[in-house]
Amino acid sequence: MSKFRKKGGKGLQKINTSSLPDIVFMLLFFFMVATTMRETEVQVRVKVPEATEVKKLEKKSLVSYIYIGRPVAHVARMYGTEPLIQLNDKLVSDEGIPFESIQDFVLFEREKLPESDKSKMTISLRVDENIPMGKVDDVKQALRRAKALIINYSAKKEYRNQGRKR
């Protein structure tokens, strides 16, 4: 011990770092709290396609989600492996064309919006890229019938190396 003390004497004053962990923990908690996971558990496997012309969805409160994909393993045990439709957080289990459920869903979600925003309601279709269009067409028909006409085909941004110019 005394061996190292020799130099000591009057060097630089050490900065008191005892509050550093507190600061860092504060940051840590901020990030842990601020990053909320998506609250709906997606029970179908969705790998959205890639596209170059995607735009950001601005107002999240106006958006309701429809997922279409093959069910994940634990759901598949109950419903089989055929493509399923999930409306926000609830799985549509009825066979055939789920017009009724989608119409009810749209009405229900529209009711939640303030009067001024009702016409701006957006449906985001998060559809797996390998799903046949028949299923999607059914949903689109149901949405037309429910007068939810603004839809968003969810897609990831694709970057092409030749750029966007012609």
> Could you list the residues that contact other proteins (CB under 8 A)?
17-18, 20-21, 24-25, 27-28, 31-32, 35, 38, 48-49, 51-57, 60, 63, 68, 122, 124-125, 127-134, 136-137, 140-141, 143-145, 147-157, 164-166
Residue 4 vs 31, nearer CB to other proteins: 31
**Closest distance to other proteins from the beta carbon of 166 (Å):** 6
Residue 56 vs 74, nearer CB to other proteins: 56
Contact 65, 124 (CB under 8 A): yes
Residue 55 vs 74, nearer CB to other proteins: 55
Give the up-direction half-sphere exposure of residue 138: CA atoms within 13 A in the CB hemisphere: 18
From residue 157, give the alpha-carbon distance in Å to each of 54, 60, 64, 142, 166: 6, 18, 20, 28, 18
Residue 155 tokens, joined: 């897609």
Q: Coil, helix or strand for 36?
A: coil
**Closest distance to other proteins from the beta carbon of 154 (Å):** 4
Residue 136 to residue 127: CA distance in whole angstroms: 8
**Closest distance to other proteins from the beta carbon of 42 (Å):** 12
**Closest distance to other proteins from the beta carbon of 164 (Å):** 8
Identity (one letter) of the amino acid at 106?
V
Indicate the helix (H) or strand (E) that contains 70: strand 63-71
**Closest distance to other proteins from the beta carbon of 54 (Å):** 4
**Max Cα-Cα span within the chain:** 86
Q: How many residues does the chain have?
A: 166
Residue 81 vs 130, nearer CB to other proteins: 130
Residue 48 to residue 83: CA distance in whole angstroms: 14
Residue 24 vs 107, nearer CB to other proteins: 24
